[in-house]
Structure formats: C-alpha cells, structure tokens
Amino acid sequence: MKKRLLTRKRLLQLISALSVVAFFAAWQIIVDFEIVPNELLATPLQVWKLLIVKLYNPNPDGALLTTHIWVSVQEALLGYLLRLA
C-alpha cells in the first residue's frame, strides 16, 4: 500500500514538472512560429535574460527589480488595509 502511494506521488510530481515544461515549450513555439509576433510577446529566454539584467542594472527606469517588487507589495498591503477600514 505504501509503495502504491509513493508511486502515485511520483506520478503527480512528474505530471507537474511536465506541465511546466509544456507551458514554456508552447510559449517558445508560439513566438518561434510567429503565431504571436516577437514584438508583442518575448520568448521565455528573453524574459529570463531581462529578469537577470533588472536584478543588477537600474536602467532604463532608474530602479532595480527589487525596488519595483517592494513598491508593489506596499501598494497591495495599503489597498488591503484600506479595504479593511
């Protein structure tokens, strides 16, 4: 019985991992075959590269990604607190 549960757990983990891979593969294919033009939708690799750049480079808007995240968290918390009031 325990072995069967372990096998089911592994299967669910595999399905989860494959779902993520399928999502990124579909995204890449959509852009590569120009179903959606590259001007409107970047590839996953382009997004990843820009994420890394924005962690260390404040250009073009003068702020790092962490600054943007912090401001977004503050705005979300403020909105939540205003809703409670």
Give residue 85's pLDDT: 83
pLDDT (0 to 100) of residue 4: 75
Express each pLDDT in 41-64 by its tens digit: 999 999 999 999 999 999 888 999
43: helix, coil or strand? Answer: coil
User: 9-52 pLDDT, tens per residue?
Assistant: 899 999 999 999 999 999 999 999 999 999 999 999 999 999 99
Q: Is the dihedral of CA 74, 80, 81, 82 positive or negative?
A: positive
Report which DSSP code applies to 46: H
Boundaries of every domain in the chain: 1-41
pLDDT of residue 1: 63
Q: Are 64 and 55 in contact (CB under 8 A)?
A: yes
Percent of the chain at pLDDT > 70 equals 95
Can you tell me the distance from the alpha carbon of 22 to that of 80, in angstroms, rounded to the nearest whole number?
Answer: 35
DSSP class of 42: -
Give pTM, 2 decimals.
0.69
